[in-house]
Amino acid sequence: MDQKNEMKNDMVWVGLEQLTNDPEYTKSIEQEFSNQPSLAEQLVEKGSAANRRDFLKYMGFGLGAATIAASCEIPVKRAIPYVVKPDEIVPGVATYYASSYVQGGDYCPVLVKTREGRPIKVEGNTLSSVTKGGTSARAQASVLSLYDNNRLQGPCKIINGEVEFFNAKSDDAAGAWKIVDDAIKAKLTPNSNIKIVANTIMSPLTLKAVEDFSKVYPNTELVQYDAVSYSAMIQANEASFGLAGLPTYRFDQADIIVSFNADFLGTWISPVEYATQYSSKRKIGKDLETATMSHHIQVESHMSLTGSNADNRILVKPSEQGAAILALYNALAINQGKEIVSGPAVNEGVKAQIDKVAAKLLTAKGAGLVVSSSNNKAEQLLINAINQMIGSYGTTISFDRVGNQRKGIDQNIQGLIQSMNSGSVDAVFFLDGANPAYDLPNASTFAAALSKVSLKVSLSGLPNETLLLCDFAAPTHHYLESWGDVEPYSGQYSLIQPTISPLFATRQIEESLLVWSNSSFLTNTSDQPVFDYLKSSWQSMFNQQDTYASFQMFWDQTLHDGVFELPGEVRVNTNAAIPVSSLGSQITKPSKDGLEISFFETVNMGAGQYANNPWLQEMPDPINRCVWGNYLGVPVSWEGGNEFTSLNNLNGREFYGEADKVDVKVNSEAKEVTVVRQFGQMGGTVSLALGYGRTYTGKQGLALGNHVGTSVQSWLGIDQDGNTQYFATGVEVSESKAKEKDFACVQYHHSMGLKAVDPVSGETLNVDEKTAMTVGEGYQGGITERSIIYQSTLKEINHLAEHITEKRGEAEKLNQHTLYPYDEYKENYYEQGHHWKMHVDLNACIGCGACQVACIAENNVPIVGKYEVSRHHEMTWLRIDRYFYGDFENPNVVYQPMLCQHCDNAPCENVCPVAATNHSSEGLNQMTYNRCIGTRYCANNCPYKVRRFNWLDYTTADLFPSNEYPVNEEELPFGADNLTRMVLNPDVTVRSRGVIEKCSFCVQRIQEGKLTAKKEGRRLNENDVKSACQTACPTGAIVFGDANNEESVIADRLNHPLNYLVLEETNTRSSVSYSAKINNKDEALKA
C-alpha cells in the first residue's frame, strides 16, 4: 500500500507488478534489452572486435539515417478510438439528425449530416410543412459558424471594452462560470429592473425560460426587436384585427401577386417557404397549351431578388411607396364604391400603371395577394384594407396560424434607450443575435445610454459590437450544440437537438437564465438541464395531441421527424372594418428632395449577423454579383452611340475590373463606398445593402468579418410612429474619389439582349452588344443569338418551343459533321448502366444561391477572399449566371445555374496531356486531382468556363505555409486551423495548389447511393442519389438522376418541350439541360 501511494495519481501502469513496484518487475524493466547482446559484444562474438572501418560504416549509416529521419518533420496525428463505440456511429457512414436552424427570425427545419460525430452539412427537412425541404444559403452556411474561430469559448469579463478571452484549452470552465454567475447574481435583487433584449424569439422554451426568470425577478421585461424591422406590419395587424402577429401567406394560391418592395423570395419574413409556394405557380408543365403562371408585379426602386423574378416591375421612388399603395387603394375603392382616401399623389405615369394593376387584381378576385415591406403603420393598414377588398383573406392570407418569425417592435427598443437614460434600468441581458450597438439606426445613442446601466451581460455566442459595451459575456451554444424548439407558426413546432457535444465551455441561454434565477431544474444529477427543461415543457404539446399514447413515443417520433404540428384554428375576424380615412396624412410624404437611397437586406448577409461567415461573404450577391462588401447600386442610362452612362459617369471601365469609389452623403454624414452599375435601378435613386461594415466580429487579426463594406445603419431614419425607415432622401453622390483596388465582382457582363432606342437613328438596339466593344460599334446578334438563354413570354410559348426546336435542329445538323460517331459510343456505353444527367428549370430558379453554398459545404470548395475574387480566382463549382433582357431602363432577369456540364464529348478531356480528366462509362466527366499537373488547357477549352484552378494554396493543404493566404487580412489564414477544418467533408478530397477542380456531380453521393442499393440487393432508385444543389433548392429547379431509369423524374424532365442544351452547336453533348425561361409579362403595364 505504501508503494502504491508513491505512484502519482496520473501515472499509467501496466499490470499489477508495476503498480505495486514489484522488485522483480523493476529489475526486468531496467534490463529490458539485457538479453540482447550489444553491437560490440556481437562483433566480439564473431571474433572480430569492431575496427575502424566498421566504426565508420556504422557512423555513416547512423548519421545518414538520423539526417533523413530528422529532416522530415512528421506531423503529429491524433486519433483517439472509441472505448465503447456508440451504436449509431459507423466510421465512414453519415448519420442524419433532425434539427432546426434558427437565427432571430430566420427559420429552416433541417437534417444535420454528421460524420464520426461532426456535423458537416445540413439538408432541408422534407417533413416540414413550412419549408417542404427547401433551404436557404444562410441555413446551408450555418454549419460553418459552428467551427468559427471567433466564437467565445467560455464566460468572459469585459473591462473598458477589452475582452478577457476565456481559453477553452487552458482555463477552468466551471470556475470561470462560477465567477461570472456569482458576479451577476450578486448584482441582481428581486427588485432589480431587468431588461432582456433579444431579436425575435420563436422558441417556446426560451420564452418559458424568460418567464421562469421573471418569476424570480418580477421587474423583468423582454424587449424583442429585429434589425430589419417589421413592427409596422405587426402593429397594423393589431389595429386591423386585434392580433399582433404576422399572417400565413399562400403564394401558391395567388394568381396575381403585387409586392411593394417586399423581397419575399430573398429576405422577407419566410423566404424559403414563399419561394417554394411561389415557384409552384411558375413552373411550366410539358403540355404547353394549358400552361398557366401567376402574374407577379413588383413595385420598387432597386432591383431586389424578388423584383428580378417579377414579370413586371413598376419603378417607384422609396419615398413614393406610400403614395403608390394609396393609389392602389383608391383605384380599388373607386371600383367598389368605397370612399377614397385623400393623401399624397403618386406621379401620373405610376398612377396609370397602378390603375391597371387594380383592374387585374379585381378580375382575379380571391386569388390576388398584395404585400409590402413598408415599415409605416398607415401603409400597412392600407395594404390590409386592399387585401380585404380583393378578398385575399381566407384564400391567400390567413391568420389560422400566426407567424412568429418577426415579433420585434421598434418602439420597445427605442423606449429602452429612454429608460436606460433615465437610470431606471439595473441590468440588461442581450440574448444571442441581439446587437443593438451595431444595428439600431441610433446605435451610438443606444451605446451611450447603455453605459448608465450597472449590469450588462451579453449571451451572444459570437462576439459583436454590443458585447464590447457589456460587463460580462455568458456565451450560448451554437444551435448545432443546443437543445431547443421553434414555433414558426402557432401550432407548428420543430425541435432543435444537439449533433455534437459543445466544443467550448459555452452554456445555453436557457441554462444561464435558469442558473441566474436558481431554478429547480438545475439538480446536480442532470448533466443536460436544458434537455430536461425542454422535455418537461413539451408535456403541454403532448397533451394537445392524440396520436401517441405515451409521452416517450411522442417524444421519440417528434425528435426523429424534427417537426410536429397541431391543427390551425380561426383566431380573428378578417372582415373587421379597417379605419382608413385618416391614413392619407400618415403615409410617407413623397420627397422632391433630389436623389433617394434605399437600404435593403441581402440574401447572404442579412442584417450583419452573418458577417463572420466567409461562405456567405463570398457568395455573390444574386443581382450585382459582387462579394465581400456592399456596393452602391447606381442607375444606368443609355446615352446612345457606344455608351451607357451611370450616375455621374461612374464605373466606365467596369469591363477592365475597375470600379470607382464615391462619397455618399446622407443627412450630412458622408461615407466612402464603391459603386456598381445596376440595371433596373430606378433613375434618381441609388441603393446600398444593410449588414455590412461590422467593426467587431471577433478578435482583431482573426475575425474575417471585421470592416467588410460600409455600415449604413446610421443613415436609417425613424418615422413619426417610431418605426425604422429603410430609405433616405436628399442624398448626394460625389464624383469618383478614388479607385477600388479590389473590385470583387464575378460577372461584369450584364445582358443577353437589353433593348434601348438609339437616339440618333430611332432604331431599337441591343445596348450591350453595342457597348461591349471598346472601339467602334458592336455587332448586333453577337451575344443575343448565342444558344445560352432562351426566353419568351407565356403568350408566345408555342412560338418559343418552335424556335428552340429549330435551333436545336440546326445544331444537330452541324453536329453530324464529325469524324467520330457519337451514336455508336452512346449505344455501347451510355445506354448501358447509369447515365447521370441534370435538368435545371430556369423558370423555377429564383437565383437565391442556396445551391451554391450547399455545393461549397458538400465539396470542400475553398474560400479565397476579396482580393482573389477581384482577380477572378473564385473557386465556386456552381455559379448562378445572371442575364438581363428586355427593356433597358427596366429589364427582366434570368438566372442560370452554371456548373460542369459533364459533356459526353468533353473538350476538356482530349486536351489534357496526362489524362487527368476523363470520362466515366456513366457519363461523368471525372477529375483526377492526383494526376493533374496544372496546364490549365482544359479550363481554356471549356466553353462553359466552369473549371477552377487552385492558383494558390487556398485550402492550406500544402506543406509550405508561405503559400497560404489570408482571405481578409487575418493572421491565421481561413481554414489553416484544426477547428475550421472540422467542417470538411471527409468523402471529398481537399485539393492542393496547382490542380484544376470542378463539379463532380457529387460523385461521392452517387457512390454512396450505389452502395446502398447494392447492399440492399435492389436496383438503384432515384431517391438514392441526390446532388447537394438539388437538395438545397427550395423551388425544385434542379433535378438530378439516372436518365436510363425511365421511371425517374429526370427522364421525364428531359422530354420537356422547352428543353435545350447550352451551346449545343459546339457538339459537347452536355448532360445538363435547361428548360427555357418564361415570363408572364403584361405588355399593357408599360414599365
Partner 1 sequence: MSAVVSPIREPLITGGKTYHQITEDICSPTERVPSLSWIIAFTISAGFLGLYVFSVFWTIWKGIGSWNLNRTIGWGWDITNFVWWVGIGHAGTLISAILLLFRQKWRTGVNRAAEAMTIFAVICAGQFPLIHMGRLWLGFFIFPYPNTRGPLWVNFNSPLLWDVFAISTYFTVSLLFWYSGLVPDFATVRDRAKGFRKKIYGFLSFGWTGSAKHWQRFESLSLVLAGLATPLVLSVHTIVSFDFATSVIPGWHTTIFPPYFVAGAIFSGFAMVQTLMVITRKVLNLQDYITLGHIESMNKVILATGTIVGTAYLTELFVAWYSGYIYEQYAFYNRVFGPYWWAYVGMMSCNLLSPQIFWSKKIRRSIFWTFVMSIFVNIGMWFERFVIIASTLARDYLPTSWSYYVPTWVEIGIFLGTIGLFFTLYLIFVRTAPVVAVAEVKSILKSSGDQYVMDADKYKEKAVVTEHAETH
- How far is CA 393 from each of CA 264, 579, 788, 816, rounded to the nearest angstrom? 18, 17, 42, 58
Amino acid at residue number 669: E
Which ranges of 549-604 would DSSP assign to H, the alpha helix? 551-561
Helix (H) or strand (E) holding 815: helix 797-816
Among the listed residues 940, 961, 1018, 1019, the single contact to partner 1 using CB under 8 A? 940
Q: Which is nearer to partner 1, 63 or 914 (CB)?
A: 914
Compute the least distance from the CB of residue 744 to partner 1, in Å: 12
Rounded to whole angstroms, the Cα distance separating 466 from 457 reads 9
Among the listed residues 23, 337, 567, 776, the single contact to partner 1 using CB under 8 A? 776
Compute the least distance from the CB of residue 903 to partner 1, in Å: 10
Q: Does 752 bind partner 1 (CB under 8 A)?
A: yes
In three-state secondary structure terms, 729 is strand
Compute the least distance from the CB of residue 219 to partner 1, in Å: 58
Compute the least distance from the CB of residue 773 to partner 1, in Å: 4
For the segment 646-705, give every residue that binds partner 1 (CB under 8 A).
655-657
Window contacting partner 1 (CB under 8 A); options: 407-415, 643-651, 686-694, 947-955: 947-955
For the segment 988-1007, give every residue that binds partner 1 (CB under 8 A).
992-996
Compute the least distance from the CB of residue 986 to partner 1, in Å: 24
- The DSSP letter of residue 858 is H
Q: Which is nearer to partner 1, 118 or 947 (CB)?
A: 947
Q: Does 898 bind partner 1 (CB under 8 A)?
A: yes
Among the listed residues 695, 941, 1004, 1012, the single contact to partner 1 using CB under 8 A? 941
Q: Does 215 bind partner 1 (CB under 8 A)?
A: no
Q: Which of 896, 916, 891, 819 is nearest to 1062 (CA)?
A: 896
Q: Does 963 bind partner 1 (CB under 8 A)?
A: yes
Q: Which is nearer to partner 1, 203 or 784 (CB)?
A: 784
Q: Does 521 bind partner 1 (CB under 8 A)?
A: no
Rounded to whole angstroms, the Cα distance separating 389 from 1072 reads 46
- The DSSP letter of residue 252 is G
Among the listed residues 97, 430, 599, 949, the single contact to partner 1 using CB under 8 A? 949
Q: Which of 494, 460, 534 is nearest to 101 (CA)?
A: 494
Q: Does 960 bind partner 1 (CB under 8 A)?
A: yes
Paired with 102 in beta bridges are 107
Largest CA distance in the chain: 124
For the segment 907-936, give every residue that binds partner 1 (CB under 8 A).
907, 910-915, 931-936
Among the listed residues 785, 806, 831, 1016, the single contact to partner 1 using CB under 8 A? 785
- How far is CA 667 from each of CA 497, 592, 717, 1077, rounded to the nearest angstrom? 47, 15, 10, 42
Binding mask 860-889 for partner 1 (x = CB under 8 A): --------x--xxxx----x-xxx------
Paired with 638 in beta bridges are 644
Residues 6+ apart with CB under 8 A from 777: 642, 770
Q: Which three cell numbers stand for residue 977?
A: 486551423
- The DSSP letter of residue 780 is T
**Number of C-beta neighbours around residue 576 at 10 A:** 14
Paired with 195 in beta bridges are 221, 428
Compute the least distance from the CB of residue 819 to partner 1, in Å: 12
Q: Which is nearer to partner 1, 879 or 1026 (CB)?
A: 879
For the segment 69-88, give every residue that binds partner 1 (CB under 8 A).
none
Q: Which is nearer to partner 1, 373 or 1067 (CB)?
A: 1067
Amino acid at residue number 386: I
For the segment 786-825, give every residue that binds partner 1 (CB under 8 A).
786, 788
Among the listed residues 59, 738, 773, 1084, the single contact to partner 1 using CB under 8 A? 773
Pairing of β 631-634 and β 669-677: parallel
Compute the least distance from the CB of residue 909 to partner 1, in Å: 8
Window contacting partner 1 (CB under 8 A); options: 6-14, 27-35, 210-218, 957-965: 957-965
Q: Does 937 bind partner 1 (CB under 8 A)?
A: yes
Q: Does 953 bind partner 1 (CB under 8 A)?
A: yes
Rounded to whole angstroms, the Cα distance separating 446 from 441 reads 9
Residue 627 CA, distance from chain mean position: 13
Window contacting partner 1 (CB under 8 A); options: 192-200, 230-238, 253-261, 779-787: 779-787
Q: Does 781 bind partner 1 (CB under 8 A)?
A: yes
Among the listed residues 451, 774, 978, 1055, the single contact to partner 1 using CB under 8 A? 774
Compute the least distance from the CB of residue 293 to partner 1, in Å: 26
Rounded to whole angstroms, the Cα distance separating 97 from 137 reads 20
Q: Does 968 bind partner 1 (CB under 8 A)?
A: no
Q: Which is nearer to partner 1, 55 or 656 (CB)?
A: 656
Window contacting partner 1 (CB under 8 A); options: 238-246, 255-263, 885-893, 955-963: 955-963
Q: Does 391 bind partner 1 (CB under 8 A)?
A: no
Q: Which of 920, 926, 919, 921 is nearest to 833 (CA)?
A: 921
Compute the least distance from the CB of residue 746 to partner 1, in Å: 8
How far apart are the two ends of the chain, measured CA to CA in Å? 94
Q: Which three cell numbers stand for residue 425?
A: 434600468
- How far is CA 188 from each of CA 454, 458, 749, rounded to the nearest angstrom? 10, 15, 60
Compute the least distance from the CB of residue 522 to partner 1, in Å: 54
Q: How many residues does the chain have?
A: 1087
Q: Which is nearer to partner 1, 60 or 821 (CB)?
A: 821
Among the listed residues 346, 350, 772, 900, the single contact to partner 1 using CB under 8 A? 772
Q: Which of 677, 696, 698, 700 is nearest to 687 (CA)?
A: 677
For the segment 402-441, give every residue that binds partner 1 (CB under 8 A).
none
Among the listed residues 502, 684, 943, 986, the single contact to partner 1 using CB under 8 A? 943
Q: Does 747 bind partner 1 (CB under 8 A)?
A: yes
Rounded to whole angstroms, the Cα distance separating 170 from 1037 reads 49
Residues 6+ apart with CB under 8 A from 1033: 134, 845, 850, 851
Compute the least distance from the CB of residue 762 to partner 1, in Å: 24
Q: Which is nearer to partner 1, 183 or 952 (CB)?
A: 952
Q: Which is nearer to partner 1, 810 or 831 (CB)?
A: 810
Q: Does 61 bind partner 1 (CB under 8 A)?
A: no
Compute the least distance from the CB of residue 1067 to partner 1, in Å: 8
Window contacting partner 1 (CB under 8 A); options: 47-55, 219-227, 243-251, 960-968: 960-968
Considering only CA atoms, give the Rg of the chain. Answer: 32
Rounded to whole angstroms, the Cα distance separating 915 from 654 reads 38
Window contacting partner 1 (CB under 8 A); options: 183-191, 325-333, 346-354, 1061-1069: 1061-1069
Q: At 927, phi and psi to the nearest 5? A: -120, 120
Compute the least distance from the CB of residue 349 to partner 1, in Å: 32
Residues near partner 1 (CB under 8 A), total: 72
For the segment 592-621, give every residue that binds partner 1 (CB under 8 A).
none
Amino acid at residue number 258: V
Q: Does 1019 bind partner 1 (CB under 8 A)?
A: no
Rounded to whole angstroms, the Cα distance separating 957 from 976 reads 8
Compute the least distance from the CB of residue 38 to partner 1, in Å: 40
Rounded to whole angstroms, the Cα distance separating 667 from 645 reads 26
Give 85's Cβ-side CA count (13 Å radius).
7
**Residue 589 burial class via C-beta count within 10 angstroms: exposed 0-12, middle 13-18, buried 19 and up:** middle
Rounded to the nearest 5 degrees, what angle is found at the Cα of 412, between the Cα atoms of 409 and 413? Answer: 100
Among the listed residues 231, 681, 723, 1068, the single contact to partner 1 using CB under 8 A? 1068
